[in-house]
Amino acid sequence: MNDQRKGEHAEPTTHFGFKDVPESQKAKKVAEVFHSVAAKYDLMNDVLSGGMHRLWKRFTIELSGVRSGNRVLDIAGGTGDLAAKFSRLVGPTGQVVLADINESMLKVGRDRLLDRGVAGNIEFVQADAEKLPFPDNHFDCVTIAFGLRNVTHKDEAIRSMLRVLKPGGRLLVLEFSKPTNKLMSKAYDAYSFAFMPLAGKLITNDSESYRYLAESIRMHPDQETLKAMMVDAGFDRVTYHNMTSGIVAVHRGIKP
Amino acid sequence: MLLAGLLASVEHGLNRILRMDSTALPRLAALEGKVIAIDCVQPALQLYILPDADGLMLAAHWEGEADCTLRAPAGSLVQLALAKDKSAVLHSPQVQLHGDSAVLLDLVAVLQDLELDWEYELSRWLGPVPTAMLAGHLRLRARWTRQGLARFSQNLSEYLAEESRTLVGRREAEAAFSELDTVKIDIERLEARIRRLARSLDTSDNA
């Protein structure tokens, strides 16, 4: 829905932060960003969110209703925060699949989880959210935390998630969104465009990746638009919860 | 979010404590997959507890169904946590228990049986030799303090009862209570005798 066509034969473009890039280039550029930040991803998350990302993920897990024996797919699972919790919840009879398109992030996530003793019921798969390599009606719950905004064709990705969910299964999308308070919105803008690239420069020596992060958040659909996209894809009972004045929202939809 | 932050901190601390007991985590593993809902009525607050082999997970919301729900006012919940006789509290009218109560009782038993190995935890930070020295010193101090307190309490009661005569001594009080009991029983006997005599006088008048 963010795609633009520049002429009949030209390749469709999509946004990469505030820039327009050919669709075929976006995945590569996003991959470069995450290759660059993978090693210090957790540290940067803590610094930039003041540790709040842990509480946002915690609330997402509470909404998941995942139980012992369930099969869970964590897309764009990164360093495995959600997957580790799901692994505890599903127990030895369940299964968790941590999927990420980015090899570096997946490697960091796998090493981190193995170091923490999270193993046995967890698998690591390098996969594109738009073309999930899993059978239909396979998972009880699918989550994507802070990943959807980096996907080139969000509609396709949501439809792919619907396909792999079992009927009655739920999709949870945790993502940055639009602040509901004007004052908060202004403060958040100042923070995102001034502090985030500076922190990126100081900690990872890479301000560009964090400038992209701030820009990609602004280009991501707001709460109502994402809800409409999930309804269009075929999800039922789609609701969302704003957190921290709408800076982050978690959308939930059930497969009919 | 504030409550979620608070629960996250409590969960972290609680799991550290649970790891200090060698039997707690294997016992909690037996409860893996169970969800216990604590529904505090006054003040209105809900807490979900999910035990597993890594400890306890606490949540303010839970979408799935709870295996056991305990609904009670805060006072009864505190009483339940502290009381030795849990079943008496559970049978009180303010407390409602739905679902599989064995799950809750098992969890309570695990928490009640905690025997924390402080020395092991300390040794991870200080090393074995300083920990042994510190623990020996602390044990000695604790014993000395306990004995000191017991002696002080005994001396104080003896002083108050025997020397200053501010309080009545235990044996003196027991003797006085015993005399009072005897007098009470004697009076009851006398009352009964008077009643019997009064009844016999009534019957002789009527004849």
Residues in chain B with CB shorter than 8 Å from the CB of A61 are 59
Most A CBs within 10 Å, among B57, B58, B67, to test the A interface: B57
Segments of chain B with pLDDT less than 50:
none
Q: How high is the pLDDT of residue A37? A: 67
* pLDDT tens figures, A215-247: 888 888 899 999 999 999 999 999 999 998 898
Beta strands in A6-84 (DSSP E): 13-16, 19-22, 71-75
Q: Which residues of B touch A89 (CB under 8 A)?
A: 50, 52, 57
Give phi and psi for A246, each to the nearest 5.
85, 5
The three-point CA angle B30-B35-B38 to 5° equals: 125
- In CATH, which of 3.30.1050.10, 3.40.50.2000, 3.40.50.300, 3.40.50.720 is domain B2-112? 3.30.1050.10
- Of chain A residues 185-244, which have a CB less than 8 A from chain B? 243-244
CA B103 to chain A, closest CA, distance in angstroms equals 15
Taking the mean position of all CA atoms in its chain, how far away is CA A157? 11
Complex ipTM over 0.85: no
pLDDT at A3: 44
Q: What is the pLDDT of residues A166-222, one digit of tens each?
A: 999 999 999 988 888 888 888 888 888 878 778 778 877 777 777 777 788 888 889
> In terms of CA atoms, which chain B residue is nearest residue A67?
B33
Q: How large is the average pLDDT for residues A86-92?
A: 91
Pairing outcome for strands A248-254 and A165-176: antiparallel
Q: pTM of the full predicted structure?
A: 0.73
Helices A207-219 and A23-37: angle between axes, nearest 10 degrees: 130
Domain ranges of chain B: 2-112, 119-206
In CATH, what class is A36-179+221-254?
Answer: alpha beta
Domain spans in chain A, listed from the N-terminal domain onward: 36-179+221-254, 182-214
Q: Which residues pair with A172 in a beta bridge?
A: A143, A252
* pLDDT tens-digit map of B27-55: 998 898 899 999 988 788 889 999 988 88
- Tell me: is residue A232 an annotated ligand-binding position: no
Compare A194 and A111 and report the one with higher pLDDT: A111
* CB-CB neighbours of B194 under 10 Å: 10
A 90-109 near B (Cβ less than 8 A): 91
Kindly report, residue by residue over A117-156, the tens digit of the pLDDT. Answer: 888 899 999 999 999 999 999 999 999 998 898 888 899 9
